[in-house]
Homo-oligomer: A and B are copies of this chain.
Amino acid sequence: MSIKNSCILGAGTLGSRVALQSSISGFHVRVYDVQQKSLDFSLNTMQKILHQLHKSGQISKGQDLDILSRIKFTLDPLEAVEDADFINESVTEDVDIKKKVWKQFGEIAPEKTIFTTNTSYMLASMFAEDSGRPERFCAFHFHDVFYSRVVDIMPHPTTDPALIPILEDLGRKLNQVPVILKKENPGYIFNTMLMALIGAAGKLLTGEVASIEDIDKSWMVNFHMPMGPFGILDSIGLDTAWHVTHKMPDRASVAFAALLKTYIDQGKLGEKSGEGFYQYPNPRYKAQDFVK
């Protein structure tokens, strides 16, 4: 099947990025949210990214207007799914909200529409049935679209296998590297590995083996990377990391979640709050002399 019209549910940061890339790739895009202020935020987010893409020479002057002209923002569900070949849902990470949204859109979407969710912390099987068409439903999970260009394709037990190559092709058209999961797995592929790394770093810290800075240096210098695990945690958000680790039963995770909580209780959420393991906007790990 040929995908021309894309519908993005949820105009937050990730939804806006997927919508923008969809238009850059030539699709007609409708962006839906329940609040006008979310749609305004979305347009603003896109304009900022387009400015960056123009500055870095990835799009030419004038192309931004063309790209934005293919995106329609709407509060009307019927307008949002009109003639949609594809839905990608990025609404709030709350299972009841997702169930409600999929029930609503399952009832009004055209028969041809492919249903996908961009959930990071849930599994599609938790709400695919609510859409009424679980066999047309698959997780299609982006990372940040422009810098980290991986899209996870993760079927749930009743996903029609014929969807996989269609989504693989769509992922490539959206300038992503598609990776396929053979079954549902919380955290997909990358987040599973990242959490293992972060958990080990947390254990080194809470076990008083080494300092935050020495743990980050070890990672950065050995792998020639711009950040270590604590810098990465600051950019993810300590609250988000706590959300994932505090449910894990092993002793190291319990100790690390407790440590994260002491930061969170002081309002230190990472880069977004101005302080986490490092202080922003000029964290130590970005200083010239950090890895000397």
Contact = CB atoms under 8 A, between A and B. Distances in A.
| Copies of this subunit | 2
A292 interface: yes
Given A182-B210, A209-B185, A225 B223 contact: yes
A89 B265 CA distance: 47
Contact of A208 (B149, B179, B183): B183
A189 B177 contact: no
Contacts of A181: 209-210, 214
A28 interface: no
Question: Which has the most chain B C-beta neighbours within 10 Å: A190, A199, A201?
Answer: A190
Nearest to A192: B200
Instruction: Indicate the size class of the contact surface on chain A.
Output: 35 or more
A218 B189 contact: yes
Nearest to A290: B177
Interface of A: 143, 147-150, 152, 172, 177, 179-183, 185, 188-190, 192-193, 195-197, 199-201, 203-204, 207-211, 214-215, 217-219, 221-225, 229, 291-292
A19 to B, nearest CB: 21
Contact of A292 (B172, B196, B221): B172
Contacts of A203: 192
Given A177-B291, A221-B150, A222-B150, A193 B183 contact: no
A190 B148 contact: no
Contacts of A196: 196-197, 199-200
Given A190-B218, A222-B190, A223-B225, A210 B180 contact: yes
Given A196-B199, A210-B189, A177 B217 contact: yes
A229 to B, nearest CB: 7
30 contacts: A148-B222, A150-B218, A150-B221, A150-B222, A172-B292, A177-B291, A179-B210, A179-B214, A179-B215, A179-B217, A180-B210, A180-B214, A181-B209, A181-B214, A182-B208, A182-B210, A183-B209, A185-B207, A185-B209, A185-B210, A189-B204, A189-B209, A189-B210, A189-B215, A193-B200, A196-B196, A196-B197, A196-B199, A196-B200, A197-B197
